[in-house]
Amino acid sequence: MTRIIQDDGRVIPLTVVKCEPNEVVQVKTAGKDGYPAVVLGFNQYKNPTKNKKFHNLREFRWEEDEAPKKGEQIKVDIFEEEEVVKVTGVSKGKGTQGTIKRHNFSCGPMSHGSHHKREPGSIGACAKPGRVHKGKKMAGRMGNDTVTIKRAIIAYLNQEENLIGIKGPIPGAKNSLVIIRKLI
């Protein structure tokens, strides 16, 4: 993350994303495949084979009349500054966490002699169900989820270096993959 300073003195925090050009690998049509879509490939292999050319392939719905041709490059020039986009990424994994960090539970008394400082408290009902109900908020794996920011704003655009500056934070660690889509 970084920030840019406007002419009127406002400071805008933004996340800079490097967007390498994506190649159109396949164009799907409603007549042949049942729905119109485009398969984009990026992060090309150093020694591509006939069938494997890219590390990552992603499919996107696309209007049939606006679909690009196979082999074309999709670059950052399809976006504009101040455009509203949707950003999807995988959030940072935090491993196994307790109920206080994971679900925002409150702590017990921290005084001497208390045995319930960071305990979750009661977890079940009486003898009738005789079990813990499904979906109970308990300790477990936290993070590493697919997160989508639906109304992110592009604050900076550099087409020569393929850089997009998105206002605010986006999900994921450094050097992770994110998907930036236009809102329809």
Q: Does residue 128 lie in a domain region? A: no
Provide the pLDDT for residue 128.
84
Provide the pLDDT for residue 9.
92
Q: Does residue 149 lie in a domain region? A: yes
Backbone dihedral angles phi then psi of residue 121, each to the nearest 5 degrees: 95, -155
- Indicate if 65 and 153 belong to the same structural domain: no
In Å, how far are 19, 52, 53, 135, 179 from 46, measured between CA atoms? 19, 11, 9, 46, 23
- Indicate if 81 and 161 belong to the same structural domain: yes
Domain assignment of residue 158, given as a range = 1-19+76-92+144-184
Convert the pLDDT of each residue in 81-93 to its tens digit: 999 999 999 999 9
Please, what is the Cα angle at 36 between 59 and 90, to 5 degrees? 25
Q: Are 25 and 16 in contact (CB under 8 A)?
A: no
| Mean pLDDT calculated for residue range 133-138 | 92
Residue 49 tokens read as 């084979």
- Indicate if 9 and 28 belong to the same structural domain: no
Q: In total, how many domains does the chain have?
A: 3
Indicate the average pLDDT of the chain.
92
pTM of the entire predicted model: 0.82
Closest by CA position to 33, among listed 65, 64, 79, 3: 64
- Indicate if 82 and 157 belong to the same structural domain: yes
